[in-house]
Chains A and B, each alone.
Chain A
Amino acid sequence: MSAVARLATLPWPGRIGLAIVAFWLAMAAFGGFLAPHDVGAIVSQDVFGAFSARHPLGTDYLGRDMLSRILHGSRFTIGLALAAALAASTCGTAIALVAATAGGWVDEAVSRVMDAFISIPSKMLALVMVAAFGSSPALLILTAALSYTPGAFRIARALAVNVRTLDFVQAARARGEGLPYIAAVEILPNMVNPMLADFGLRFVFVVLLLSGMSFLGLGVQPPDADLGSLVRENISGLFEGAPAVIVPAAAIATLTVGVNMLIDSVSGRARAVEA
């Protein structure tokens, strides 16, 4: 059953999720053009301004227009998180397939290295990477991917090992198929759905890692800022309930929740269909 066909028959949480995700993807794609002001322009004298006609989402700690900053910022959060989460899930799955099909010492070695990476706190890794190579979107993606690949690997490997023992894989071996074919054609398609569900959480983690990095003063280059950094840089407006803090936080929440609602129901649906 194709993904498209699935979307057609989504239950309501899935539809809501789909709507939210679609909305944010649109923001990521066109937000920059819709922004009324330049992302770095100081347009108001009062900082942490409230919702107003001139600044629908208020102003930030320097008196910049929050609407514009969020429109620009969502691009980074979504772009980076998507790219990193995708990279992590794909790499994790690929490595897991190699390990699981090859088995033996390859499996052992790979698993050890992955364990090692899991046990290195991701924020620490980010700190080192940025300090070493400076902060660019590419590097942020690389870092996030590096931190979350091992997690994806763990799951993918568990799945692959289970699938490996199934009869149709035995049949393929008896047919004389090579390992690459077995991994790619026989095993992989049966891992997609759980990995999809896992991707959702991984996406959340990357978004969080990004905001965590903003706390450590890393992240995208000013004047741009990802949603997490927006929360962070305006945090001192929190006690006066400035929109500058609340809106980006809400944005992150809706984004992550939306992605998961969608993915949960898509992969759940897929499972139901195959069952």
Chain B
Amino acid sequence: MPEPARGLPGALGRFRGSLPALVVQRVAVGLVTLVVVSAIIFAITSLLPGDAAQAILGQAATPEAVAALRAQYGLDQPGPLRYLHWLAGLATGDLGRSYTAGVPVADLIAGRLPKSLMLAATTAAVSVPIALTIGIVSAMMRGGPVDRALNLITLCMVAVPEFLVATIAVLVFAVKLGWLSALSNAMDIATPTQFVRAYAMPVFTLCFVIIAQMARMTRAAVIDQLSASYVEMALLKGARPARVALRHALPNAIGPIANAVALSVSYLLGGVVIVEAIFSYPGVATLMVDAVTNRDMPIVQGCAMIFCAGYLLLVLAADLIAIAANPRLRHR
């Protein structure tokens, strides 16, 4: 699940100097993080019993067959050595070759990443406005029945297992009503109608998962600001509550909100295994899960890199938005 954010993102505290400088610094730090991730991934996956050779042969795994295959994949080399090889490859932009499929990992990911991004983007496009609206409304009516109701609803939404939401949605909209397609393998989409048919339900399901998070964070951030004295000042100028919330409080809350959104959206890259499985949506998350079950470490690593990079980019974007929105940081 995505994670909440409070206050300005940590990096902003340390933020010194110009925007380009910040970006450069963050990208550098990001690269370090990527290496850390790869190391962690490698460490934990090396705990897995069995390897690609055994996984591929399955029931047919006889010792000599396995040995032969290991030799073929270079699995007979010591683990750390393989890791270093992989790192070296990464440095030259080569993610390595999949054991099971035999094709370059880059190709496999390239085939699916656009789909994952599309799903994430669509979901974000739908959920973020809804979440912000809910958050702002309940912030304005904080403590009131509307606030409580929204809070309860969003909580219930996040509380239902997503595979249940997905299955119910399919049952209703695809099977019973026949409006939408039960599958969204997102192949041959030409018309907007097809697009909607394919994406409506995965997006719907994912909205259930992430809206609550963002809404609650937005609410918190806006309420934070509503207690500021410039808000009282605005009220004393005769501004109506809506104007106060939207024109005054909201701009000041953009930092934390952007951060919360970034975290939620980053979940849409790697956390959507279940939705991808149920709608047989060919995304990167499924690719990684399969890779884990097939012990296809190059793919696992590659996907991990993608997710991490995506997460870092999103957080960076959030920080930049916060900076752009904040004159104190903009004009220095």
Contact = CB atoms under 8 A, between A and B. Distances in A.
Interface of A: 13, 111-113, 115-125, 127-129, 131-133, 148, 150-151, 154-155, 157-159, 161-162, 194, 198, 201, 204-205, 207-209, 211-212, 215-216, 228, 231-232, 235, 238-239, 245, 249, 252-253, 255-257, 260-261, 264
Given A112-B33, A128-B44, A204 B164 contact: no
Q: From DSSP, what is the main secondary structure of chain B's interface residues?
A: helix
Interface in B26-42: 29, 32-33, 36-37, 40-41
A174 to B, nearest CB: 22
A109 to B, nearest CB: 9
Contacts of B164: 231, 235, 238, 245, 249
A244 B49 CA distance: 35
B307 A120 contact: yes
A119 B37 CA distance: 8
Given A127-B292, A155-B6, A119 B312 contact: yes
Given A112-B36, A132-B49, A154-B3, A204 B274 contact: no
Given A115-B33, A119-B312, A207-B159, A131 B148 contact: no
Nearest to A198: B4
Nearest to A260: B155
B136 to A, nearest CB: 18
Interface string B42-70: 00110111000000000000000000000
Contact of B47 (A133, A207, A231, A260): A133
B48 A132 contact: yes
B302 interface: no
Nearest to B284: A121
A216 B7 contact: no
A13 B148 contact: yes
A208 B292 contact: no
B167 A235 contact: yes
A207 B156 CA distance: 13
Closest CB pairs A-B (n = 6): A121-B270, A151-B3, A119-B311, A119-B308, A211-B161, A256-B159
B183 to A, nearest CB: 17
A154 B1 CA distance: 14
Given A119-B33, A238-B167, 4 more contacts: A113-B36, A154-B10, A159-B6, A216-B289
Interface residues of B, number: 60
A204 B163 contact: no
A255 B155 CA distance: 11
B158 interface: yes
A59 B215 CA distance: 37
Contact of B1 (A113, A159, A205, A257): A205
Contact of A201 (B32, B152, B213, B273): B213
A150 B156 CA distance: 25
Nearest to B155: A257
13 contacts: A115-B36, A115-B315, A116-B37, A121-B288, A127-B292, A128-B292, A131-B293, A133-B47, A154-B5, A158-B6, A201-B216, A208-B159, A264-B151
Given A119-B307, A121-B307, A158-B10, A252 B48 contact: no
A220 B285 CA distance: 24
Interface in B172-189: 175
Nearest to B13: A161
A60 B131 CA distance: 36
B10 A238 contact: no
Given A129-B44, A264-B151, A208 B1 contact: yes
B152 A257 contact: yes
Contacts of B123: none
A112 B310 CA distance: 15
B39 to A, nearest CB: 8
Contacts of B263: 118
Contacts of A212: 161-163, 273-274
B323 to A, nearest CB: 17
Given A119-B311, A216-B273, A245-B164, A155 B4 contact: yes
